[in-house]
Amino acid sequence: MEKDEKIAWRFMDFYDTKRTSFYVSVKCLYLSVRQVVIMSGNLQPTKAQILKNLEAFKNVDTPEKKEEIYVHEVYNKISAHFSQTRYKPWPFVQQFLSELPDNLLGVDVGCGNGKYLSVNKKLYIVGSDYSTGLIQQARMLHKDEESNDILIADGLQLPHPDGIFDFALSIAVIHHFSTKERRENAIKEILRVLRFHGKALIYCWALEQEHSRRGYHDGMDQDVLVPWVLMKKQKKKKKNNISSIDKNKSEASDKKDCNTQNTESGDNVKPDTKMRYYHLYKKGELNEDCAEAGGK
Amino acid sequence: MKLLTTNFVQCAVKSCNGSEKSYPLKYEDCQLQLEEQEFKPAFIIAMLQRINWQALVKVAADLGNNNLPAEKPADVENNEALLKELHTLLIETQITEGKMVCENCGHIYYIKDSIPDFLLPPHLAN
């Protein structure tokens, strides 16, 4: 487990957009393979299944709908399980927060279950997320804390006045927007609410990660679907004979589009695969998007 | 939602940004709850420097508190009684249920189980 939890990053630089003087530190991450470890191998969707899902994804006609089905709905469904696996702050984000002066005001755009909200209790952080499910998890975990608050909001329409925050976090969020324009607008929106000389820390997944288990690499399609397997416990139904059909349960979902499949009755535990959309950032691309967002 | 946070939020509709009527939001039918929190005077002093006092006075009045002075108090460092009052107001006061109304576009946002929801319906999203 320990070595799988280690996340490497490829580059790190503070980026001064000159005209606006926002300092944006952008970093690309290799995908964490921790979520793979907690799933048993034969429950993972096959390559063919993922391709089929990707085809369905590409046929959805608007970026908003794509994100609705392949990001928002997924996070709402997996929120409880996802939250159980997202309690440990990444060291570099922890370091960023720990080194900030006391009593600063920050915003965490796409805060998920809020694992960065209480890393440094001398700050006040307003965390927001599109996913109601994840925000409910955040509320549960951070209910009694004085150093933060949470709200449900769209990263493209943040409910904050211009220039009020000393710093902003956006950790593993921007890659969920499904067009370049929307990703740039999401960065613009973060810069809008940041004060002059404010600092933003933005992380997205990297494309070039040949040596990771998922094997994403330069030259491949940057728009990918990443599976999340939930083990769903189901109620026993008295009328069904459940003894003999259980063993083939993992194959039952093979032919289906995962995010729209219905669960079948009869099993005690069955895998339920959800596909999340990611845009994998190429080397230098996040820097370009930040320049585009901050330079105008 | 802590009362402090009301000072940092406005209507999420893009065309309302910059309108004096979209900030602060108008708070209606709110239920409040006091949650005891550790008193940190340095934090209150730092927040006070950045707080939009007029907005705070207006929101406090929406919630039934008309005791705040019209101008931001100066020299708070040695006024522990005032700092404690502000601590209770800003950090310990939770809005658990209620409505936030934009006085520019009229859109109503809801607070449920202490969580304000700023997602917009498609016709208001750009």
- Does residue A127 share a domain with residue A165? yes
What is the count of residue pairs from A and B with beta carbons less than 8 Å apart?
Answer: 85
Which of B4, B11, B115 comes nearest A159 by C-beta?
B11
Considering only CB atoms, which chain B residues are within 8 Å of A124? 4, 43, 47
Is 0.85 exceeded by the ipTM?
yes
In sequence order, which residues have a C-beta less than 8 Å from that of residue A125 and are 6 or more positions away? A105, A106, A107, A108, A111, A116, A117, A147, A148, A149, A169
**Cβ of A151 under 8 Å from any chain B Cβ?**
yes
Cα-to-chain-centroid distance, residue A114 = 12
Side chain identity at A181, as an amino acid letter? E
- Does residue A239 share a domain with residue A210? no
CA distance B112 to A225: 33
Q: For B83-103, how does the pLDDT look when each residue is reduced to its tens digit (9 = 90+)? A: 999 999 999 999 999 999 999
For the domain that residue A95 is a member of, what is the CATH number?
A: 3.40.50.150
Q: Do B119 and A64 touch (CB under 8 A)?
A: no
Domain count, chain A: 2
- Does residue A238 share a domain with residue A113? no
Q: For A150-185, how does the pLDDT look when each residue is reduced to its tens digit (9 = 90+)? A: 999 999 999 999 999 999 999 888 889 999 999 999
**Cβ of A135 under 8 Å from any chain B Cβ?**
yes
User: Which residue is it, tokens 């709200």?
Assistant: A151
For the sheet with B115-117, list strands across it.
A9-16, A23-29, A194-205, A165-171, A105-109, A124-129, A148-152, B115-117, B108-112, B93-101, B26-34
pLDDT of A246 reads 44
Q: Do A124 and B17 touch (CB under 8 A)?
A: no
- Which range among A37-46, A120-129, B89-98 shows the weakest confidence by mean pLDDT? A37-46
Q: Name the residue with higher pLDDT: A216 or A223.
A: A223
- Does residue A144 share a domain with residue A110? yes
User: Which residue is it, tokens 């005209």?
Assistant: A19
Q: Are B76 and B43 in contact (CB under 8 A)?
A: no
Selected residue of B43, B86, B105 to mutate for chain A interface (largest A Cβ count, 10 A): B43
CA distance B14 to A159: 9
- Does residue A285 share a domain with residue A164? yes
On average, the pLDDT of chain B sits at 95
- In terms of residue numbers, what domain contains A125? 5-36+86-222+280-292
Cα-to-chain-centroid distance, residue A100 = 24
- Does residue A114 share a domain with residue A160? yes
| Domains delineated in chain B | 3-124 (2.20.25.10)
Let me know if residue A47 belongs to a domain.
Answer: no
- Does residue A128 share a domain with residue A238? no
- Nearest residue of A to residue B125 by CA position? A157
- Does residue A185 share a domain with residue A149? yes
For chain A positions 185-204, those within 8 Å of chain B (CB to CB) are: none
- Does residue A214 share a domain with residue A242? no
Q: Do A161 and B8 touch (CB under 8 A)?
A: yes
- Does residue A267 share a domain with residue A129? no
**Cβ of A150 under 8 Å from any chain B Cβ?**
yes
Closest alpha carbon to A167 in A231, A226, A124: A124
- Does residue A118 share a domain with residue A18? yes
- Does residue A161 share a domain with residue A241? no
Phi then psi dihedrals of residue A203, to 5 deg: -120, 140
Considering only CB atoms, which chain B residues are within 8 Å of A151? 1, 5, 9, 115-118
Residues of chain A above pLDDT 90, percent:
29
CA distance A47 to A30: 20
